[in-house]
Amino acid sequence: MAADPSIDSAANRIRIVLVGTQHPGNIGSAARALKTMGLSRLVLVAPERFPHIEAHALAAGADDVLAAAPVFATLAEAVADCRLVLGCTARSRRVALEEHLPRAAAALVMARAGEGAEVALVFGRERTGLTNDELQLCHAAVHIPANPEYSSLNLAAAVQVLAYELRMAMLEAGEAGGVATSAAGEPASHAQLEGFFAQLADTLDAIDFHKGRAPESAMRKLRRLFLRTALDVREVRLLRGILADAQRMARLAVARAPGEAPPRS
């Protein structure tokens, strides 16, 4: 159970899986990272040394998370009941997996967990990450966009970043008055976002927003704004519905006074 009463039960369907961890201290630090972010389900796959005094030392007050962590021999067993498995990779180029940034991954995880599915976020070995066979068990990859010249995030630091994004997604869901089930939906695809941007550009033309100015500047700012928001599918639908009504009003205004406001292509 999550120790934080503000966290919905969706959090209890999210497991963080550490595969083949070499340093027991990292297991303890990961447990601490989880608990600070209101998560509690740590799962270990073939850790090199566990239980270990160093894991408990670094867990600080998160010993309960360590004590509750099941240990499996293989990743396949650890995620057997999961409907979504995301694998953290330094680079996923080795396999043909869709790759998400941490924020989008957190939205996806919360969406699935909110629907009642068991979800796993998988972290590989300190030096070598996940094997190709292990990555094949993942439905998508998560990539923390680290400095390409020095991308060696500590394992616990990577867990901390993902756990932080999960907590932000949970808090946003709670803040909006809903439970996590209706919070962050499935992330919009690239094509859905481009469809929205195309309609947004058309709408700006229709309502004569640019007034002779170059349209690129406004659209660049709007793209930046909406891309960083990680829109979900329903939000794109909502925004496009609003644009459709604005376009309809603009057509009415123009149709009723064709001489005053010429339609734009």
Q: Give, as ranges, the residues between 145 and 164 that touch its own copies (CB under 8 A).
A: 145-154, 156-157, 160-161, 164
Query: Which is it for the CA torsion 126, 105, 83, 137, positive or negative?
Result: negative
CB of 216: closest distance to its own copies in angstroms? 10
Interactions with its own copies, residue window 98-117 (CB under 8 A)? 101-103
Name the phi and psi angles at 25, rounded to 5.
Answer: -60, -35
Nearest to 107 by CA among 90, 86, 79, 122: 86
Judged by CB under 8 A, the stretch of 31-39, 76-84, 109-117, 129-137 that binds its own copies is 31-39
Interactions with its own copies, residue window 40-99 (CB under 8 A)? 60-62
Nearer to its own copies, 133 or 216 (CB): 216
Q: How many residues does the chain have?
A: 265
Cα–Cα distance list, 56 to 9, 155, 168, 177 (Å): 26, 16, 27, 37
Burial of 126 (0-12, 13-18, 19+ CB in 10 A): middle
Contact indicator for 120, 44 with CB cutoff of 8 Å: no
CB of 250: closest distance to its own copies in angstroms? 4
Interactions with its own copies, residue window 219-238 (CB under 8 A)? 220-229, 231, 234-235, 238
Interactions with its own copies, residue window 177-206 (CB under 8 A)? 177-178, 183, 203-204, 206
Nearer to its own copies, 80 or 242 (CB): 242
Nearer to its own copies, 26 or 92 (CB): 26
Sketch the per residue contact string, 123 through 142, with its own copies: x for CB under 8 A, - otherwise.
--------------------
Number of residues engaging its own copies in binding (CB under 8 A): 76
CB of 235: closest distance to its own copies in angstroms? 5
CB of 203: closest distance to its own copies in angstroms? 8
Residue with tokens 């993902």: 162
Burial of 175 (0-12, 13-18, 19+ CB in 10 A): exposed
